[in-house]
Structure formats: C-alpha cells, structure tokens
Chain A
Amino acid sequence: MLLKLNNLSKWVQSGGQKIHLLKDVSFWVNEGDFISVMGPSGSGKSTLLNIIGMLDDFNEGEYTFMDEAVHNLKEKHRSNLYKQYIGFVFQSYHLIDELTVKENLEMPLLYKKHGGAERKALVADMLDRFNIVGKKDLFPAQLSGGQQQLVGIARALIANPKLILADEPTGNLNSKQGEEIMDIFTQLNKEGVTIIQVTHSEKNMKYGSRVINLLDGSIVTG
C-alpha cells in the first residue's frame, strides 16, 4: 500500500461557519494504481490532490504515506518526503518562463543535490524518452500547449517518483494533444508508476483503473 487516508477532513471558517472542503474522506492507494478523481466544480478534487501531494494541510483525520504518518510529520520532513516520491503535473503546465526546456527539466534535480554529470545524463534521458531533444533550448512560450505539458510530465518524472499527481493534465489541451498525454500516462502506469489524476472528462477517466467520485467534499463511490 502506497498511501492511506483515514477519515480525513478539511474545512475553512467563513462568517463563523465551518465550511467543509473535505469531509471524512477515507481511501487507499496501492502501488501501480491509476486513479481518477472526479466530481463537479467545488467538490474538493483539487484540495484532495493537494493534500495527498502534501502541499496543503488538513484539519482532522490521518494520512499515511509509505508507512509514514504524514499528519505527525514536521514541515521539513514532509517536504523531503514529497520531494523524493511525488511528481506533480498541472493543468496549466507551470513551467518557469525564464528557463529553457532543458533547464526546466533540470530544476527538480537541483533541489535534490544531484551531481552535474548525473543531472545532464538524466535530462538527456528524459529529452530522449519524450522525443523533445530538438526543443531543449526553447523557452516554454515557444512551445505548443501539448509540448509544454510533455515537458511538465517529463519534469515530474525526472526524479523518478513513485507517485504522479496530475491536476486536470489535459484541461488546457485540444483533444488530440489530450489523447497523447493520456497515452503517456498509461504507458508510465504500465512501467509501475502510480498515478492519481483529477479530471472532468469521462474519456480520460476511462484510462484509469479506479475512480473516486467526490461530491461536496465526500466520496460518493470509490
């Protein structure tokens, strides 16, 4: 088991009222799963993803990631944990505009203190694997959306994470580009990477092996 959520809740105070973003959410993820989180806008999909990615806090419940109790961890420890095991892919790619493709790929490695030669090798590997060697010196603005997302995925993968969290990875892409990206996810999943994606689209959902449906912060089916 890769991670487990147990009665997890998150709320915000608004006008003296508790508004639940997530309420008593419990589920687990095994290594090699490909999970789609679905639900209407405001149902708490992204919040859930962010909590799994340790980018956001929760108020109640337990979260175990690879046998570590995340709710008890210190900030620093937590960040080490996600740095090592989790990769993120965003709807709007979130590449750094001032860096080239190659430099964007290199960035996570810089934060993990890989040596220069190793970084070069890993970046070259990724460029190869995603067929973007020719684009390595271009800036994000010079790429199409699909290409940018490709770089985004490559960047998420470069540090060899166990889990990829993708927040509507095809949301800004046309259907053809979207399909390509989903194919890559499927391929990665086959290679053993666990994937959790948040999506609106029924079509994308079908790429996954399991679906979690959220409504108003609670799991409806899962």
Chain B
Amino acid sequence: MLKNYFKIIWRNLIREKQFTFLNILGLTIGIASCFMIGLYVYSEMTYDTFHEKGDRIYRVNQSYIWGDWNKQYASTGPNVAVALRQDAPEFEEVTRILNSGAQTVRRKSQNDDRDMFKEEKSFLAEDNFFDVFSFQFEKGDVQTALKEPNSMVITQKTAQRYFGSEDPIGKKLEVRESKGEWSIFTVTAVLENLPNNSHLEFDILISLSTIQQRLDRQNWLWAWTGFSTYGVVKEGTDAMALEDKIQAIPPKWAALTTERLFSQSYEEFTDGKKWQLHLQPLREVYLSNDPEAHLFGPNGNPQFVKIFSAIGILILFLCCINFMNLSTARSSKRAKEVGIRKVLGSERKRLIKQFILESTLFVALSTVFAIILVQFLLGGFNAIADKELSLLPVLGNPIFVILLLSFVLLLGLFSGSYPAFYLSAFKPIETLKGKVTSVFKGKNLRNGLVVFQFTISIALIICAFFVQKQLSYTSNLDLGLLKDNVLQIHNVEQLGDKVETLKEKLKTNPAFTNVGLSFGIPPNVTSGDKYRAFGPENPALHFEDVRTEGDFLDLLGLEFLAGRNFDPLRENDKYGVVLNEEAVKILGWGTKETFATDSPIGKYVAMTNESADKMEVLGVVKNFNFSSTKKEIGPLVILHQDNDWVWNYGRGRTFLAARFDDKSVKTSGELQSLIDAIQEEIAVMDPSVLFEYSFLDQEFDATFKSEQRMAVILNIFTILALVIACLGLFGLAAFSAEQRVKELGIRKVLGAKVSELAMLFSSEFTKLILIAIVLASPVAYFLVQEWLENFAYKTPIEFWVFGIAALSAVIITIATVSFQTMKIAMSNPINSLRVE
C-alpha cells in the first residue's frame, strides 16, 4: 500500500510540474527562513551555557543609586564581593572583574619598531576567576594564572597577534601607562579563543592583584562601580532565599561609603529608597539586556529575539497555508482519484493518511533543500546580523536531528491536514460525476487563507516602512549640534603636554575652522555624578557631566541661551560650569523664558555642602544630544577640563576634535591626506602613541547600528514573506483560470474585450488584497506604535505610508496574477469551449 502511495505521489510530482515547483519553492523558502531565524534565536538564547557551574552562577546587581533606584545596575563597587564573602557563606566563590578600558599594548623586546595594538577588551580579574567561569586553557596553570601581580592571561588569537607561533608562556607584554611609561606583564596562560556565546568578551585578563595597592585603599567603597561581581552558590542553595538574606548587606556595609563620600548617614543617603542587591542568573544576563552598564561584552536584545521568533513562525505559517491552498485548489483534479479509491473500498482514514504522507514528503524534500539553502546563505546572514552562526555543528547534534524529524512530521501533518480532511470528505459519486460542488464551498476558505497571508505580508511591509522611516528620522534629527565634518583624534592624552602643541598646529591649518579638546564626545558622554544647587537644603541629583574646554563648545556650535562660554583668558573660569537647559530646569532655576528676569548665571552648583568647591554657572546652552538619540536629553554639567575639584575619571578618553572646512576639503582623498598629516605629526611627537580617529556623524549613526541591522533583516524577511504569499496567489490564480476558462470563453464569444476580461479576472484577487489591507493596517499601526515606544524621538505615524504599502500590495497582486490574466484573456475561446 505504502509503495502504491509513493508511486502516486511521485507521478503527481512529475506530472504537475508547476504545482510541484510552486509548492516546493514556497516551502523551501519558508523552512529556510525559519531555520535561519531559529539558528539566530537559538544562539541568542544559549549564551553562557558552556560554563560547568553555569546554573549556579549569578551576577550580583544593585539598585541604580545614581538615578532611578527602582532600576538595577549591573556594576557594583569593590566592597560588594568583600561583604558577600563574609556574610553569605552560601556562595562557593565570589569573584570580581573590572574593565581596564582600552590600553595600548606592545611586546617587550629590544628593537623599537615593534607592533603596538590597542586592546579594547582587557579586564582585571581575581585569581578565582576560573573557579567560577569555565574558559578552556590551552597552556598554563588554572590555579596560579591570575595570582601574581602583573600576570596576564591572553586568548589564543591575542597570543597569535604578539607572538606568532612562539610559545607565549613566560614572555613579557608592555602596557602603556598614562604618563607614557610602560608597565611590564608576564603571560602566564593562554586560553582557547572564547566561545561565540559568551557575554564576557575579552582578549586579555590581568590579575586584579596588579592594582592591589589601590584596592587595599578603596576596598570599602560602594561607589567605584566599575566592577561586576559574580558568585557561584553552593549546590542546593535556594537563590530566592539567598537574595532575601543579602538585602541585609547594603545597610551594614555601604554606610561607610555614604558617610565618607557623601557625608550622609546610610539612612539619609537612601532617604527611604531601597538599596538592594539582586541575583541575576547567568543564563539571563546576556539576553535580558537589563540592567544597563554591563561593561564586559555584548548585550542581547530580547525585543529582536521576540520580533524575529514571531516572524519565523509567521513565515512558516504562510508557507503551510500556501501548501494547503495549492493542494485544495488542485482538488478538482485529485477528486477523481479520491472518488475511485473510495468506491474501490478505501476508508476515509486511509485517504487522510495518504494525503498526509504526501504533504510530509513535500515538507521533507523542501527541508533538505532548505538546509542546503541555509548553508549557502548563512555567511551573508552572519555578515548582516553580525553573528557567527553555523549549521554543520547543529546538524551533527542528535537532539537536533530528532527535533528536525519531528519538525518535518509536524509540519507535514499540519500543512497536510486541511487538504487531507477536505479532499477525503468528497462524496464519491459526486466527484466521479464531475460535479464537485464542495470545491465552491472551499473557495471561501481558500480566499480567507489568501487574505490572511496578505494581511501578514502587508503588515510586515508597513512595519518595515516605518522602521526605515524612524531610522532616517533619527539620523536626520536636529541634534542641537553640528555633527558633520568633525574629525576626532583619539588617545591624545598619551601625548601629555604636547597635546596643546598639536592643537595649536591644527589651529593654524586653514583646513580646520575649529579645534577643541574634550574628555568625552557626543554621543558618548556617559559619565555622571551627583550635583546640587549650592546650599544644604537642596537635594543632590544625578547629572551627566563632561569635561572640556570652550573651544570644543564652539566647535559643536552650541547655542548659548544665557551667559557665556569658558574664556581661556580668565583663570577662574576653570571652576565655572556651563549647564544645559534641562539641568537648569532640574535645579529649579526656571526655563529660558524666565532667564531675562531671573537669570541662572552667577548661581552656584556644588557636589557637596562644603562651600569651598561651589562652581559658578557661566552659561546655559540650548539642549543638544550628547548621548544616543534614543534617549531624551538629560541634565548636563559641562566642566572645565582643568577643574581639579571634581575627580577626573577621564583617563584614556581624551579626544582632540577638529572641524574641517568642506570648502577646502572637498574629496575623500584630500581628507585622507589631512588625516595622514596629523598621524605624521603625532608620530614625530611621540612614536609610542597609537593613532586612531573617527567622525562625529558616524559615531551618531553607530548608536543605531543594531536597529539598522534589524531593519535590514526585517526587510529581507518581509520580502520573503511577500514572495511566499505571491507564490500562493500565483498558484491560486492558475487554478482559478482553469476553473473559469469556460465562463471567460463564453464572455469572449459574446463580445467581451481582452481588457474587460483581464479586469474581471484580476478584480477577483484585488478584492482579496484590499480586504487584507484593511485588516493589516490597524495591526501594523499597533505594532509600529509599540516599537516606537523605544525611542525618545519618534517619527510620526503618517497615513501616506499605509497608502504606499497598500498601493504596492495591489500592484504586486496585479503583477502576480497578470500572467494568468493575459493567458486566459488572450486565448482563443474556441479552444476553451471545445473541452466540453
């Protein structure tokens, strides 16, 4: 019997080439998309699964004490680990890591022309780091690798960079210190390159004992929140209970910090708010993308995972519908076979089995094609998604193979179920007599399915439109500063005092209109502290701050609403500040309308209550975007770069920005030679300074990199969904053409024009698409609105976009059915009528 089924299926496949092709193509595209998305989602959801103790590792987060206390903060002070070790014996190990920031590293050797590299991913780690995390060693001793000061553990690719094929163990690397000296490190171990799915991403680990002196001095601090604290709990520990228990730690241990640092008791500092510690399971760290301030590697985006999972399932759904639709559309052809089989004694059960077997076979075949397709396209997908997905290791996994087989069976069952039940329900006599009235009943359902398909496709089109619109909206947003033509040179702090010389040199170059130094540059102004309007009665509030000089504010083209810029000729200006509008508002000093009567200029802001370090407000600038345009503009305090009252954590982040004149720098070649000249200049001043540069506008664009990526992927899958829907429509049109050939033949004989027939025929489908548009629009509107909530600046939801999407859907529909339309409208009616 089975053999007989296979025979029929195979012969049908061969005979109905167009149907087979449409079906397999649709299924293949659908399954391949689904696989691709599946691989992506799987990789996103299986981060950090390779750690042996993974299910017992937690990251300790704390309340965001610098702002909204209800939010969590992934960074903690050094004292959190100390406290946990003492007060929470449930932890088997507690370990801290600290991001050392970008460092210039070179191999220690005799000659001077050695390669230097900027190492962006370098952490300080404690000696028990590997007792918590299971990174694989290639060489070296796990126990001692991070024990001694100035020890360095490097990954294999880092070793390759400095040592080539030599054995790096025991060899020395040098790291540039701020004053141009080099400190020496010994390579104690080499790690295998890190797995792709690690939320910790580093090239170099430096033993935390290297900074033991500073640590000894500041180990009590809860404010030096550059650390992340991780703990492994003992087996069988109730993490919830443990989390409850450790809430006792902040009041006991953080009081010292509030007293010494802010001159407040713990109660005064918290002021009724809860300073909490949270245990975040390791497997949630990557994907949750929450809390902020994870400084040690990539963050996932749970929203993307949700969006793409949904799209994957929808596409799969679309191709199932396609299959059902095409199968039932062909039912008039299959009906005869069903009738004969029934008359010859086949039970309905068996017919159902046969059709499900058929669809399963289709799915299996398409799955094979899909796997091949995915293998071919994965490279491109990886490039777009910035991922390193691969199919082959997954295919070798027996669990996956079982999953795949069940996927094929399930999908076969699902997509075959409707045609199976539908076709098998035919009454044999009716089908044999050729009066399959049930075909007409099926028509409504088929039309419904097509409407559903296009609803999804059109909704996707509208969403894709808006994503694109939002991205271009944000990139063209008025930032409040002039972002074009600004070149920023990095690492200039390494030049020491010579940076002023470099600045003067650039100033004399007529190609540059403005030159200025800054410790932070938009959109990467991320440091912040507590400031208050001077006076003990005023509350301390969190402000972003940036250290810079007047020239830089000029360069950005900021608009002063009141007061003035820093003046290099006035010595005392270095203890003055410039505020943005928002900061003035938050301090309670009014808005720009009130400046005339009650000017904030001459008032003071301060960090503590001591009157010694109150800082005079020199000017107020109009709000401008100093961090990502995803966020609303917050309050900003602009400090003078020479202000030595406020602790300077600008190390390693000094930039020299220069605005070039696009009248004198017209081509990219001219720009490049300008950059080359600066590089030359710096090399002459100090050959050990690494030359790096970037452009302000590109930095702003980069803040939307992940959204841009999402947009590209969304566009691709939108097109695929549309292609699948069109395949279905095409098949349906072919079927309808076959059904109506007689009717249209008669019309033609009675004098209908070709154009009239074409209109008549395609209107059948255009109607469906119009219904789909009506259904899709509110869905899309809702989704777009939801997505735009992520952004502080939203593109308006304008209706012309819906119009364009609708119009393109109609055009695509007419184009898809036009082939059938023309075929049927042009054909000689004699041929169609002779069939009878």
Contacts and interface: CB of A to CB of B under 8 A. Distances in A.
Contact of A110 (B1, B337, B429): B1
Contact of A55 (B1, B343, B346): B343
B120 interface: no
A90 B432 contact: yes
A111 B7 CA distance: 16
Contacts of B110: none
A46 B429 CA distance: 10
Interface string B1-27: 100100110011001000000000000
B340 interface: yes
Contacts of B77: none
Interface in A90-121: 90, 92, 94-99, 103, 106-108, 110-112
B635 interface: no
7 contacts: A46-B429, A83-B345, A96-B337, A97-B336, A107-B344, A111-B346, A111-B350
Nearest to A84: B345
A96 B429 contact: no
Contacts of B8: 96, 98-99
Given A110-B1, A112-B345, A155-B344, 15 more contacts: A53-B343, A55-B428, A76-B347, A79-B345, A88-B344, A95-B340, A96-B337, A96-B340, A97-B337, A99-B4, A107-B341, A107-B344, A110-B4, A111-B345, A111-B350
A56 B4 contact: no
Interface of A: 46, 50, 53, 55-56, 76, 79, 82-83, 88, 90, 92, 94-99, 103, 106-108, 110-112, 155
Contacts of A107: 4, 340-341, 344
Contacts of B341: 96, 107, 111
B339 interface: yes
A110 B344 CA distance: 10
B343 A88 contact: yes
Contacts of B7: 98-99, 103
Contacts of B15: 98
Nearest to B339: A94
A92 B336 CA distance: 11
Contacts, number: 60
Most buried by A among B4, B340, B344, B350: B344
A5 B1 CA distance: 36
A155 B345 CA distance: 12
Nearest to B8: A98
Interface in B319-354: 336-337, 339-341, 343-347, 350
Interface string B50-83: 0000000000000000000000000000000000
B419 to A, nearest CB: 17
Given A55-B429, A98-B15, A99-B7, A79 B337 contact: no
Nearest to A156: B344
Contact of A108 (B11, B345, B427, B428): B345
A115 to B, nearest CB: 12
A94 B340 contact: yes
Contacts of B11: 98-99
A46 B1 CA distance: 31
A56 B345 contact: no
Interface of B: 1, 4, 7-8, 11-12, 15, 336-337, 339-341, 343-347, 350, 427-429, 432
A111 B15 CA distance: 25
B339 A106 contact: no
A108 B344 contact: yes
Nearest to A95: B340
A95 B7 CA distance: 15
A79 B4 contact: no
Given A103-B7, A107-B4, A110-B4, A98 B340 contact: no
Among all A-B residue pairs, the 7 with the closest Cβ atoms? A83-B345, A111-B345, A98-B11, A108-B344, A110-B1, A94-B340, A98-B8
Contacts of B337: 96-98
A99 B11 CA distance: 8
A88 B339 CA distance: 12
Contacts of A46: 429
Given A55-B343, A107-B344, A111-B346, A94 B336 contact: yes
Nearest to B12: A98
A30 B23 CA distance: 52
Nearest to A57: B427
Nearest to A110: B1
Contacts of A155: 344
Contacts of A92: 432
A111 B343 contact: no
B345 A82 contact: yes
Contacts of A53: 343
A27 to B, nearest CB: 21
Contacts of A99: 4, 7-8, 11
Contact of B429 (A56, A79, A83, A97): A56
A129 to B, nearest CB: 19
A53 B339 CA distance: 14
A210 B783 CA distance: 75
Contacts of A90: 432
Contacts of A112: 345
A58 to B, nearest CB: 13
A118 B372 CA distance: 44
B561 to A, nearest CB: 83
Nearest to A88: B343
A111 B347 CA distance: 8
Contacts of B343: 53, 55, 88, 94
Contacts of B1: 110
A79 B347 contact: yes
Given A82-B345, A111-B350, A106 B429 contact: no
A178 B336 CA distance: 24
Contacts of A83: 345
A112 B517 CA distance: 92
B12 A106 contact: no
A153 to B, nearest CB: 13
Contacts of B427: 55-56
A83 B15 CA distance: 30
A56 B343 CA distance: 11
Contacts of A97: 336-337
B4 A103 contact: yes
Contacts of A55: 343, 427-429
Most buried by B among A46, A50, A95: A50
Contact of A94 (B4, B345, B346, B432): B432
A149 to B, nearest CB: 14
A92 B340 CA distance: 11
A55 B341 CA distance: 12
A77 to B, nearest CB: 12
Contacts of B340: 94-96, 107
B222 to A, nearest CB: 78
A199 B336 CA distance: 22
Contacts of B344: 88, 107-108, 111, 155
A107 B346 CA distance: 9
Contacts of A103: 4, 7
Nearest to B432: A94
A220 to B, nearest CB: 24
B429 A50 contact: yes
A151 B668 CA distance: 82
A96 B345 CA distance: 14
Most buried by A among B1, B8, B345, B428: B345
A10 to B, nearest CB: 12
Contacts of A108: 344-345
A99 B354 CA distance: 15
Nearest to A111: B345
A46 B433 CA distance: 10
A6 B15 CA distance: 48
B303 to A, nearest CB: 50
B7 to A, nearest CB: 7
B471 to A, nearest CB: 53
A51 B94 CA distance: 84
